[in-house]
Amino acid sequence: MSRVLLYTGKGGVGKTSVAASTGLMLSKKYKTVVMSTDPAHSLSDSLEAKIGSEATKIYDNFYAQEININDAIKSHWNDLREYLTALFQYQGLDPISAEEIAILPGFEEAAYLLYINDYINNNDFDVIVVDSAPTGEALRLLSFPEVMRWYMEKVFPISRTAAKIARPFMKPFSNLPMPNDKVFESAEALYDQLGHIHDILQNPEITSIRLVTNADQMSYNETKRAFTYLLLYGYPVDAVIANKIYTDDTGDFFREWRESQHKIVDELPDAFPDVKILKGYLQNDEPLGRDKLIKFGETIYGENDPYDIFYKGKPIEFTKHGNDVIVKIKLPYATKENLDLFNKGGELVVEVGNWKRIMYLPQTMANMEPAAAELKNGYLYITLK
């Protein structure tokens, strides 16, 4: 089974350099691909190489890819897009606009995930390194399979049945395009594939998510929030990389910056308990090209092997206590003020700030209601009765 390493962080923290350097280091022993899912691709600039929308061989054992969303959708579920294009044209849009709007919200995230799924199913690479979009987009990417699951289970069966009934009645009276079986089969295939990749991304034996931050307060705060949200969704974070740290020889001009950075760096082990803390120092020049990137990666990982799993803890656990069930969720930066939870038709809904997680309870727990909740030592304990 392939290893998946996903790097994300606030825009500008250097995650592309970290991802590219990691991939180059791993390619010494493993067949590796680094794929960019950031709409503003910079992987080709970092590697100083021309990269295509498909995996492009750059060096022995090393491939890179900057995904083009239009190519991705045509490759994976063109039937669905053709139907939506026809539907928007019927509404009066010109063909070009209709084709552009047919890329609905979420399609982009799904297309990226399907590439990972294909590579794993085909055993194309030993390691898949993902240079993800900035934190907000990355969280949407990782939450999309769960959103799709809700849609497919709640809305899709009704839509398919309605279309099947309406199709013969509508045809003589209207040119309104009705989805055919190929469209629904395409959506079902998408659902199945996303379910598979969702399981892979939540498996700490396969996937490690690594947060890249700078040692400044804004990046640090966003990284703490991202850490909480990723754990809420059950994704395995095994490392935090503090990047662009000033070295002690940068002179008096940067003294206050160094002191400010050191305070944050010293807090990292307590702020992100259990996970690996790695450090990347500001280089004399940009880490561009193979040699500089490998050198940069070696300063980050030191004696550590980037292929290793640095932490395997479970973000979510269910345990029985008599007739009750305790749900334990690791949420280090959640507060009572931004937390809400309830059971809705067998779904345990946990809301933290702007992010919502819908956990499908096992059949034996579907009728249980959250009777109590407690935040303690970075964990949320929910008692279901």
Q: What is the reported pLDDT for 102?
A: 52
Q: In terms of domains, do 248 and 99 share one?
A: yes
Q: What is the β-pairing status of strands 32-36 and 62-66?
A: parallel
In this prediction, residue 279 carries a pLDDT of 96
Same domain, 324 and 302: no
Q: Which CATH number goes with the domain that contains 94?
A: 3.40.50.300
**Residues 86 and 182 occupy one common structural domain:** yes
Note the pLDDT of residue 80.
Answer: 54
77 and 202 belong to one structural domain: yes
Per residue of the chain (385 residues), give pLDDT as tens.
899 999 999 889 999 999 999 999 999 999 999 999 877 789 999 999 999 889 999 999 999 999 877 776 666 556 555 655 654 554 555 665 556 555 555 566 667 788 888 899 999 999 999 998 776 666 666 666 666 565 555 544 444 444 444 445 444 444 545 555 665 666 667 667 777 888 888 899 999 999 999 999 999 988 988 888 888 788 899 999 999 999 888 888 888 989 999 999 999 998 888 899 999 998 888 999 999 999 999 999 999 999 999 998 878 888 888 888 898 888 888 888 888 888 777 778 888 887 777 776 766 777 888 888 888 888 899 999 8
Q: Could you tell me if 49 and 293 are in contact, meaning their C-beta atoms sit under 8 angstroms apart?
A: no
149 and 103 inside one domain: yes
Place of tokens 């509508």: 170
End of a domain among 313, 334, 363?
313
The reported pLDDT for the residue numbered 319 is: 87
Which pLDDT value is given to residue 112? 77
Question: What one-letter code names the amino acid at 264?
Answer: I
Look at residue 81 in the predicted model and tell me its pLDDT: 59
Same domain, 342 and 285: no
The CATH number of whichever domain residue 322 belongs to comes to: 2.60.40.790
Determine the pLDDT at residue 176.
46
Indicate if 267 and 374 belong to the same structural domain: no
> What is the per-residue pLDDT for 335?
85
pLDDT of residue 163: 45
**How many Cβ atoms are within 10 Å of 176's Cβ, its own excluded?**
12
Both 260 and 331 in a single domain?
A: no
Question: What range defines the domain where residue 345 resides?
Answer: 316-384
pLDDT of residue 173: 44
Q: Are residues 226 and 196 located together in one domain of the fold? A: yes
Decide which of 292, 313, 334 is a domain's last residue.
313
What would the 3-class secondary structure string for the chain be? CCEEEEEEECCCCCHHHHHHHHHHHHCCCCCEEEEECCCCCCHHHHHCCCCCCCCEEEECCEEEEECCHHHHHHHHHHHHHHHHHHHHHHCCCCHHHHHHHCCCCCHHHHHHHHHHHHHHHHCCCCEEEEECCCHHHHHHHHHHHHHHHHHHHHCHHHHHHHHHHHHHHHCCCCCCCCCCHHHHHHHHHHHHHHHHHHHHHCCCCCEEEEEEEECCHHHHHHHHHHHHHHHHCCCCEEEEEEEEECCCCCCHHHHHHHHHHHHHHHHHHHHCCCCEEEEEECCCCCCCCHHHHHHHHHHHHCCCCCCCCCCCCCCEEEEEECCEEEEEEECCCCCHHHEEEEEECCEEEEEECCEEEEEECCHHHCCCCEEEEEEECCEEEEEEC
Q: Are residues 221 and 92 in the same domain?
A: yes
Does 147 lie in the same domain as 102?
yes
Q: Which of 278, 313, 348 is the last residue of a domain?
A: 313
Domain count for the chain, please give it: 2
Q: What is the pLDDT at residue 215?
A: 94
Q: Measured in whole angstroms, how far is the alpha carbon of residue 322 from the centre of its chain?
A: 37
pLDDT score of 159: 46
